[in-house]
Structure 1
C-alpha cells in the first residue's frame, strides 16, 4: 500500500512539474513568436529536470524551421527540451489561370492559413512585394503560388536615367544618373552621373528608378 501511495504521489508531482514547465515554455514562445506557433508537446532529451522558481527557459528555434529546442537552466545545470508543435503560415492560391509573364496583383489570389511542422522556403512570400514580380511560367487556377514560379521585375534597366542620392552625415546630394546595368531592388548596379563620362559609381537599387550611391 505504501508503494502505491508513493507512486501516486510521484505521478501527481511529476504532472505538476510538467504543467509548470509547459507554461514556462509557452510563455517564452508567446513572447518571441506570438500566435504563429502551436505547442503540442514537450519531451526531455536526457533526464527529467527538477523545476524550481529560479529556472530560466531559452529557445533554440527560428520561424518555420523544423528544429525546435528549448533549454531549462537551473543553477549550474542545463536541461535540453525537445518541442513538438506546428507553425502557422499563409499560402496564396490562384483564383484563375495566370499566364506566364503576368505582373502579380493581390486580387489574383485567395489567402489560406495552414499549419505545419516546418514552412517550406518556397512558400514563404511574406517578405516580397507581389507587384514587383511576374510569373515565370503558366500557373493554373487553384495552384499554390511558390517563389520558384516567380521572377522579379527589373527596377532599373541598362541606359535608364535614374534618380540617385548620396548621404554622408548631414550631407545629402541628389542628382540624375544613367544606369549601366539592369538591376533589381536590393542589388548593386553601376551608374554614371548624367552628362559625365566618369566617374562610374556603385549604387544600390532601392526602388524602381531610384538608387543610393555607395561610392
Structure 2
C-alpha cells in the first residue's frame, strides 16, 4: 500500500501572509490525519517563509502517523532542528538559498561522501533517511552507496510531460524504480503529483511506498474541502 503524506507548507504560507495563527497549522495537521492522511510532511527553509522552526517542534507533539521533514541539511538550522525533533523520516533535498521550490535531485555521485556522512548521522539517531533524486538509475544506484533507506523520486518532469504522453512521461521513473528495487532502496515520490496524474504513476511504479503531496492537494481543497480532497487522493492510491 502506498501511503499519502500531506505537505502543509502552503497552509503555513497563507498563515504567514497575515501574521497571527489563521489558518492554524497544528490543527490542519491534526485534521489531515483524522481525514485519512498517513503522514505529514513539512519543508522548513532558512528564511522561514512558510514553515517556521518553531512549527517543527509544535508539530512533533501532535503528528500521530509519520512525520517527514524535508530540506537541505547544509543550510540554516535544519540539521540542528531535525536531530532535536527526531521525526520518523528526514528527506534530504539540495535546495539552494532563495529557491522558490525544489527544482533538482541530488547528484549522488559528486556528493556521495557528504551524503554518506549525513545519512550516518541521522540513522544513528533512529531517523529513516530518504534522498531526493532525479529519475536517473545511476543516481539511484549511487544513492544506495550512501547507506540511505529510501529515495524520493523528483516527479516534476513526469507531471509536466504526463498530459502529452503518459507512457513517455513514466518511462524514466520506471527505470529508476527498478534500479531502486535492485539495490534494496525504498521508493518515495513527490513534486507536482495531482489528482490528474497520481493514479497512473501509482499503477506503474513498482514498490512505491509513499507520496508526498502539498501544492496540488491544497489547491484542490479550496474547491472540494480538505476532508473530501484527502479522500480523493487516497482513492488514486488504491491497488
If the TM-score is normalised by the length of the shorter chain, which range does it land in?
under 0.3
Greater share of strand residues, 1 or 2?
Answer: 1
Larger RCO (CA under 8 A, 6+ residues apart): 2
Greater share of helix residues, 1 or 2?
Answer: 2
TM-score by length of 1: 0.20
